[in-house]
Homo-oligomer: A and B are copies of this chain.
Amino acid sequence: MSLVIIGTVAFDAIETPFGKTDKIIGGSATYVGYSASKLGVNPKLVAVVGGDFPQETISDLKSVGFDLEGLQIKEGEKTFFWSGRYHNDMNSRDTLATELNVLENFDPVIPESYQDCSYLMLGNLAPAVQQQVINGMKNRPKLIAMDTMNFWMDISMDDLKKTISMVDVLTINDEEARQLSGEYSLITAAEKIQAMGPTYLIIKKGEHGALLFHGKDMFYAPALPLPKVTDPTGAGDTFAGGFMGYLARTDDTSFENMKRAVIYGSALASFTVQEFGTDRIKSVTNEELELRIAKFKALMSFSESRVLNEIKN
């Protein structure tokens, strides 16, 4: 089934303890799309870039199956730019620069050919813009997921809560879940956030994995321990792209299938962090992905126990 993705397509400049980059290709929609494309889905992009955005990247996106009818190219304007420096623990970062550029007046337009989409992924953007996209769909998609961040909780909580009330799946990190709900326990936070609208909540915990909540059901996907993490940028978006890509590919929104989707999202994210930017996720093959899924299975599986019956006797 078709997957529409809205988000940023951007330039990033990244510093980590392992090196730094000049302006490279980044953006939430970019990572979400590359990730979904690995699952055989052709992502339909809604985004905006400036005239400075490289034609070769546009060609590359098309060559791996992106539908770019919804990508606005503003000649004479500049692409959104973000620059950040990661701390030694790679879990926290400082933003060095944010140049909104074309994003400042982004007015997303949903092409007619996107209107029949069943799956909609709202990448991290202003909640009002995310809302505009939902409202721009003539028929409500079967499943709407959104990502957001603490920044929007700080400056536009009301807009954010309105948008959250309109979606099925919310993906945020643990600190954001605590901020949004005012609850420290993730169990209690998950209950409160589900009461705001989304019947599914995914709490991303970076190197500690991800939790999927739905009513009283919970599922935990670990992050795969890696010998080296080079650049965490885009890991959350890659996760979301794998999650939504898997659901769109299988067209099955049962909780059982969402568990598998979380594993695929985690597996794909584990590639992204191994190189700077989109370098690694772009090159992932089916065989590599399959091998990594097998690693997740090995990491999580244990066979039935037998001791308790013995204790009782």
Q: Which chain A residues in 178-210 approach chain B with CB under 8 Å?
A: 184-188, 190, 205, 208-209
Partner of A225, one of B185, B298, B301: B185
Segment among A22-30, A121-129, A255-263 that sits at the interface with chain B: A255-263
Q: What band does the interface of chain A fall in when counting residues whose beta carbon is under 8 Å from B?
A: 35 or more
Q: Does A151 contact B (CB under 8 A)?
A: no
A302 and B227 in contact (CB under 8 A), knowing A286-B311, A286-B312, A289-B308?
Answer: no
Q: Mark A162-186, 1 if CB is under 8 A from B, else 0.
A: 0000000000000000000000111
Q: Known A-B contacts: A218-B225, A293-B305. Give 9 more (CB < 8 A).
A: A39-B307, A39-B311, A188-B227, A217-B298, A218-B299, A250-B307, A256-B303, A259-B302, A286-B308
Which B residues are in CB contact (< 8 Å) with A265?
Answer: none
Cα–Cα, bound, A290→B220 (Å): 19
Residue of B nearest to A306 (CB): B250
The answer to the question of A59 belonging to the interface, with a C-beta cut-off of 8 Å to chain B, is: no
Chain A stretch 200-255: residues in CB contact (< 8 A) with chain B: 205, 208-209, 211, 217-220, 222, 225-229, 246, 249-250
Interchain Cβ contacts under 8 Å between A and B, 25 examples:
A40-B307, A89-B184, A185-B226, A185-B228, A190-B225, A205-B208, A209-B220, A218-B298, A219-B299, A219-B300, A220-B299, A220-B300, A246-B307, A249-B307, A249-B310, A250-B307, A256-B303, A260-B305, A263-B302, A264-B307, A286-B308, A286-B311, A289-B308, A293-B308, A300-B300
> Which residues on the B side are within 8 Å of A249 (C-beta)?
307, 310-311
Return the 6 tightest CB-CB contacts between A and B, nearest first: A208-B208, A259-B302, A40-B311, A220-B222, A260-B305, A187-B225
